[in-house]
Amino acid sequence: MGKCFSFSATYDRWLRFSFSRAGLKSTITDLGDGTVMHCWVPKTYNPNKPNLLLLHGLGASGMWQWNMFVSRFIERFNVYVPDLLFFGDSYTIRPERTEQLQAQCVAGVLKAQGVRKTNVVGGSYGGFVAYSLAAQFPEMVEKLVLCGAGVCLDEKDMEDGMFQVKSIDEAVSIMVPQTPEKMKEMLKVLFYKPVTKIPTCFMQDFIDKGPHDCLQFLGTDYVQDWTGLIISLHKDRKMSNLPKITQPTLIIWGEYDKVFPLELGHRLKRHLDEHAQLVVIKDCGHAMNGKELKEMYKHMKSFLIDPLLSPEKANKTKGQKVH
């Protein structure tokens, strides 16, 4: 029996075409020390536009996660979409697996592109990197959007029963699935209403040829690298050690998030106090699709784009009279 058609490879090619058509180009930055970062950057930089950096989460490259948003943001921003280390075409031979290193590498790419200041959106794991970027390079980050990013978690939270999983090993087995059965389990954790009728060959194809394909090319075991990223998020993490950033921050959270429970969103809001606002999306899990993505964009637009408009244009956009 022949192999199932590779949806992942075909979709990847379509995404590359889509990003190019939107006005972005693929770039590779050699940061030294065996570290290479891939990033989609504007084909033509517009100095009159603000900048926007989109950071993806685990399980997706930048293209795969942000495709639905790029076309919406490209008219208002110079958009940058990197692949974090061990995703897409980004990798390192350095031993660190921390979000701090990821943030330093992202900052290196932005500096190479001449970007001095940017707004940042980070989803899930990308939110950890975004927060670290804001903490390490405060002069570089203007506004911050964090989507389901449990940066306020404490190592003891797992022992206290906050999470659905009971150990890091269990978390890794779900979040880095190696079989279609494990992928089904992952989807149940990620989505409030998961799609269950996905052909087994499609799921196996994603495991074999998904956004981590560069690691197979390099001859390394991506499971080991992704495991390192997850362990680093949890190991020796203390809420008391989390730096307090001062950039205006929008926190977006799914009401029924099983990966990072909503309590972590409230905890982050308390930590940042007047510098942050929390938006909870109803009937939504950790991952979003359909109407949840539309609602997520609505809040991001209100936070990032509407303040850039004059009061007259902003109110006209909302269909309101100017008071």
Give the tens place of pLDDT for each residue, 147-195.
999 999 999 998 888 988 888 888 888 888 888 888 888 889 999 987 7
Cβ–Cβ < 8 Å for 54, 72:
no
Average pLDDT over residues 42-69: 93
The percent of residues above 70 in pLDDT, for the chain, comes to 89
Cβ–Cβ < 8 Å for 34, 96:
no
pLDDT range class, residue 317, cuts 50, 70, 90: very low
pLDDT of 1 strictly over 70? no
What DSSP line would sit under 50-107, residue for residue? Answer: PEEEEE--TT--HHHHHHHHHHHHTTTSEEEEEPPTTBTTBEE-SS---HHHHHHHHH
pLDDT range class, residue 5, cuts 50, 70, 90: low
| Domain 7-307 falls under CATH 3.40.47.10 | no
Average pLDDT over residues 2-8: 64
The CA distance from 312 to 108, in Å, is 38
pLDDT of 316 strictly over 80? no
The CA distance from 237 to 153, in Å, is 7
pLDDT range class, residue 214, cuts 50, 70, 90: very low
Q: What is the pLDDT of residue 242?
A: 96
Q: What is the pLDDT of residue 12?
A: 85
Q: What is the pLDDT of residue 309?
A: 64
pLDDT range class, residue 314, cuts 50, 70, 90: very low
Cβ–Cβ < 8 Å for 96, 110:
no
Average pLDDT over residues 88-93: 92
pLDDT range class, residue 9, cuts 50, 70, 90: confident
pLDDT of 323 strictly over 60? no
How many C-beta atoms lie closer than 10 Å to residue 53's C-beta?
Answer: 28
Q: What is the pLDDT of residue 120?
A: 98
Q: Indicate the pairing of strand 35-42 with strand 91-92.
A: antiparallel
User: What dihedral do alpha carbons 209, 212, 217, 223 form, nearest 10°?
Assistant: -100
pLDDT range class, residue 318, cuts 50, 70, 90: very low
The residue assigned the tokens 């390490």 is 136
